[in-house]
Amino acid sequence: MTASETLVATGNRAHSHGPGSPVPLQARNERPTSYDVADFAVPNGREEEWRFTPVKALKALFADEAGTETPKIDASGPDGVVFETVAADSLKVGKPQDRSAAVAWNHAAEALAVRIPVEAELIEPVHVNVASLGARGFSHLIVDAGRHSRATVIIDHTGAGELGSNVEIVAGDGAELRVVSIQQADHESIHLAQHDALVGRDAKLHHVVVTLGGKVVRIATNVRYAGPGGDAELLGVYFAESGQHHENRLFVDHEATHCKSNVLYKGALAGDNARSVWIGDVLIRAAAEGTDTFELNRNLVLTDGARADSVPNLEIETGEIEGAGHASATGRFDDEQLFYLQARGIPEDAARRLVVSGFFNDIIGKIGVPEVAEHLHEVIEEKLARAAELSASAKAVIGQ
């Protein structure tokens, strides 16, 4: 038997590497993006960007069809802010990086643009409420802060249903923009979103993602810089309970010089099949000298059966940087802290809650919007009370 006969006999490779062996992507920015839904196959869960996500539950948001409803969007804000309805592709700061974002991009009838005029300083926050009405819908928001403006925009997602959304954010040169996106739709709802932010020269962007409700919530945040001196602070808080999947994916693409990024995400998990995923990609390109970046993710697992995945990835193509690093930790809260509090006469239940509030306190403080901070404290308390009931009933069962 010759070598070539063997090849045929075992149904072998036609060439040296065998069929279907493309070269792996070598940097994060090589991952394809497109406005065309057809450029993305329907995910089957084996793809790198979907392998943590329960894709079976997301079929409705992968189908290339118009929504069955339009989410109800209410916007209000202080004097000076301008609301406009524009075409979805009028800005194009964002570009879909996966199937669901492309579907949302093409089927959101129009986009709501929130414009902060040049040099306007808004003391009170702008509120945008996106309410899903129980069916499948898409939304598209644009937050455009003019140069040297200051503003806070709170986007609140409520209701029930399946929502695919795109959010495009521009912080003009020298602007300071705070965008808070809250996901608190009901426990059966699904929300897939892509946020794309462009940070101008010497601008400062605070981007906050707060995920509290929803069965599957996946927010992908991408940040780019339009000029040197930009600063992005990316914060996230999530609390997944039984049956909830909270996923955050970040990509900070440093291409301009002397820019900063600081990522801090903290999450807690309680209950069976509570699940969180955090992927933080940072790319420092060869041209981005003087970059300073740090990423941190902390997960607190409160009960059995919960799972937290945490993957910080760092790609650096130049040595001329200020600093780069990341850290991630997952664990149960410190029993010693619990012991310390109990030794001082605080009942276990209250001590546990204190420890968890302590865990979240620093990040809640950084959000910088009192009404959001207050709301978060309340919801976390509620969730903790539920978790305590769970473990109490579990103990009771064991006790019998």
Partner 1 sequence: MTQTAHPELEGLGNYQYGWADSDAAGAVAQRGLSEDVVRGISTLKNEPEWMLDLRLKGLKLFDRKPMPSWGADLSGIDFDNIKYFVRSTEKQATSWEELPPDIKNTYDKLGIPEAEKQRLVAGVAAQYESEVVYHQIREDLEAQGVIFLDTDTGLKEHPELFKEYFGSVIPVGDNKFASLNTAVWSGGSFIYVPKGVKVDIPLQAYFRINTENMGQFERTLIIVDEDAYVHYVEGCTAPIYKSDSLHSAVVEIIVKKGARCRYTTIQNWSNNVYNLVTKRATCEAGATMEWIDGNIGSKVTMKYPAVYLMGEHAKGETLSVAFAGEGQHQDAGSKMVHNAPYTSSSIVSKSVARGGGRTSYRGLVEVAPGSHHSKSTVRCDALLVDTISRSDTYPYVDVREDDVAMGHEATVSKVSDDQLFYLMSRGMAEDEAMAMIVRGFIEPIARELPMEYALELNRLIELQMEGAVG
Measured from the Cβ of residue 22, the count of other Cβ atoms closer than 10 Å reads 6
CB of 193 to partner 1, least distance (A): 24
Q: Give the CA angle between residues 100, 275, 27 to the nearest 5°.
A: 55
CB of 60 to partner 1, least distance (A): 28
Question: Which positions from 282 through 301 interact with partner 1, judged by CB under 8 A?
Answer: 286, 289, 301
How many residues make contact with partner 1 (CB under 8 A)? 54
Q: Give the CA angle between residues 153, 157, 159 to the nearest 5°.
A: 150
Can you tell me which of 63, 316, 373, 379 binds partner 1, judged by CB under 8 A? 316
Of 293, 218, 283, whose CA–CA distance to 251 is shortest?
Answer: 283
Instruction: Characterise 345 by phi-psi region: left (phi > 0), alpha (psi -120 to 50), beta (else).
Output: left
- Here's the x/- map for partner 1, 319-348, by CB under 8 A: it reads as xxx-xxxxxxxxxx----------------
What is the crossing angle of helices 370-399 and 348-367, to 10°?
150
CB of 8 to partner 1, least distance (A): 11
Of 260, 218, 252, whose CA–CA distance to 50 is shortest?
Answer: 218
Does residue 344 sit in helix, strand or coil?
coil
Does residue 62 sit in helix, strand or coil?
helix
Question: Which positions from 164 through 223 interact with partner 1, judged by CB under 8 A?
Answer: none
Interface stretch with partner 1, choices 123-131, 143-151, 211-219, 305-313 (CB under 8 A): 305-313
The beta strand positions in the chain, using DSSP E, are: 72-76, 82-86, 111-116, 126-145, 150-171, 176-183, 190-199, 204-211, 216-225, 231-240, 245-254, 260-269, 275-284, 292-301, 307-316, 323-331
Question: CA-CA distance, 153 to 75, in Å (whole number)?
Answer: 10
Can you tell me which of 313, 337, 342, 357 binds partner 1, judged by CB under 8 A? 313
Token representation of residue 288: 């981005």
Residue placing its CB nearer to partner 1 in the complex, 63 or 314: 314
276 touches partner 1 (CB under 8 A):
no
Question: CA-CA distance, 231 to 277, in Å (whole number)?
Answer: 25
CB of 391 to partner 1, least distance (A): 11
Residue placing its CB nearer to partner 1 in the complex, 133 or 287: 287
- Here's the x/- map for partner 1, 48-67, by CB under 8 A: it reads as x-------------------
What kind and span of H or E run contains 340? helix 335-343
Question: Which positions from 3 through 32 interact with partner 1, judged by CB under 8 A?
Answer: 3, 6-7, 9-13, 16-24, 26
Residue placing its CB nearer to partner 1 in the complex, 191 or 254: 254
CB of 284 to partner 1, least distance (A): 9
CB of 280 to partner 1, least distance (A): 11
Binding residues for partner 1, rule: CB under 8 A, are: 1-3, 6-7, 9-13, 16-24, 26, 48, 286, 289, 301-321, 323-332
